[in-house]
Amino acid sequence: MNHYIENKNDNDLEKILFNNAPNFNYKENIVSDFNSSYWICDTFDIYYPSKKDKNEPLLVYSTYNKEEIDIIKISNKQLIKSLTEVSNYIEKIKISFNEKDKNNYLLASDWEFFVYVWNLDDDYKFLFKIETGYTNYIYSFLFYFKFDYIITSSVGHTNNIDYIKIYSLKDGQLIKNINNSDINDTLYCLIWENDKKENYIVALCYEKIEIYNISNEELYGNLFTEEVYSCGDYYFSGFISNNKYLYTSSSEGFINIWNLYEKTLVKSIKYESSFFKITPWSIYVNYSEDKKESKYYENYNNYILVCDKTKNGIFIINFIFRREMNNKYNIINSNVESFYKHETVSFIENSGESAIKVVKKFRHPKFGDSLLTSGEDHNIDLWINNSPLIIDIFKN
């Protein structure tokens, strides 16, 4: 959502950037007896069918001690489909939309380190099962549709088996390994495409972050400082502000913002807490400081929602990045962008006794932008956003 603000003073800017954070209230329980056997409870995801009922989000999840994956409508909890091709309990689920064929694809991994692949929009067609050969948890996997890749990672310590692997989306065959000696504690992987359309794997390890070129597997660089040595206990992360910055969080209470181009730490915040999953909730704002000179600032307003173990709820933190521009169409320099400020906007406390471990954003057909959360209580719960629309505040 874009908002253009002209001839407003700093107080107005502060108002629009900080006083309109998402404001969530618990609505209802969607699933009980959810699969919480894996400690981050990341065995659910949301997707929107591409061919029918496009405005009806569906929930894909694995229930506790059940060797199948269920798909239900979130709005009425109606069961749509059960996927029974799995042969063990499910540990992790991820759904991605492929712009090439306009289909949603599902990845799932089980306790025996197999990976399963479905095309959900082709009548829930099961495609194949991948035998990864890992000896430890599959910490992350993802689709990279640009090259028709499936990328997996596992935590490895002393062997050369549990490294990053790349498979073909067409047939599930292994294409290549990324097996650098510096990368043997990989927890989480992301794909980063820079402004030159170059493609990298961002591998988040225990004590540093490695960035590898997908094409030639060469090390592009690493992100690490001694001051934030313990920031990588367990990473959960993503990109903000024009895909230029990487944010990470850890179970030791760190939230870090990294500049991927400069390979530097921009901001590190330490909370007396322990974090689980994290998700962005961004609002993009253009703010004009001097209309006569056609000079204004482009602000990227990045709300980040962080699951907090110690305080049993969700922190909402606002990170703002600013890029100076000479008019609305000419950018002085696309990389002249700097961290502006941050603020802990609010805290949502879970009414139950167990911690929220996973939070995922989606668009509800009735309530708009909403959240699904899961935790140690074997539940998936719906939270709705009651924040006012910021465009109404500065309506002339």
Is residue 17 within 8 A of residue 26, CB to CB? The reply is no
Strands 245-249 and 236-240: antiparallel
Alpha-carbon distance values, 18 to 137, 204, 394 (Å): 39, 30, 14
pLDDT at 141: 92
Query: Residues 47-65: what's their mean pLDDT?
Result: 86
User: Nearest CA to 215 among 230, 231, 194?
Assistant: 194
User: For residue range 120-142, what is the model confidence (pLDDT) as tens digits?
Assistant: 999 999 999 999 998 888 888 99
% of the chain with per-residue pLDDT over 70: 76
Which H/E stretch holds residue 213? strand 209-213
Mean pLDDT of the chain: 79
pLDDT at 4: 42
Query: Residues 41-50: what's their mean pLDDT?
Result: 88
What pTM, to 2 d.p., does this model score?
A: 0.86
pLDDT classification of 11: cutoffs 50, 70, 90: low
User: For residue range 270-291, what is the model confidence (pLDDT) as tens digits?
Assistant: 888 888 788 887 665 555 555 5
pLDDT at 13: 56
Cα four-point dihedral sign 352, 348, 204, 211: positive
User: For residue range 141-179, what is the model confidence (pLDDT) as tens digits?
Assistant: 999 999 999 999 887 655 667 788 999 999 999 998 887
pLDDT at 391: 39
Is residue 183 within 8 A of residue 163, CB to CB? The reply is yes
Query: Residues 51-57: what's their mean pLDDT?
Result: 81
**pLDDT of 229 over the 50 cut:** no
Q: How far apart are CA 229 and CA 186, in angstroms?
A: 15
pLDDT at 339: 76
pLDDT at 289: 52
Is residue 239 within 8 A of residue 190, CB to CB? The reply is yes
> Cα 238–368–347 angle (5° rounding)?
55
**pLDDT of 44 over the 80 cut:** yes
Residues 6+ apart with CB under 8 A from 101: none
pLDDT at 357: 84
**pLDDT of 394 over the 60 cut:** no
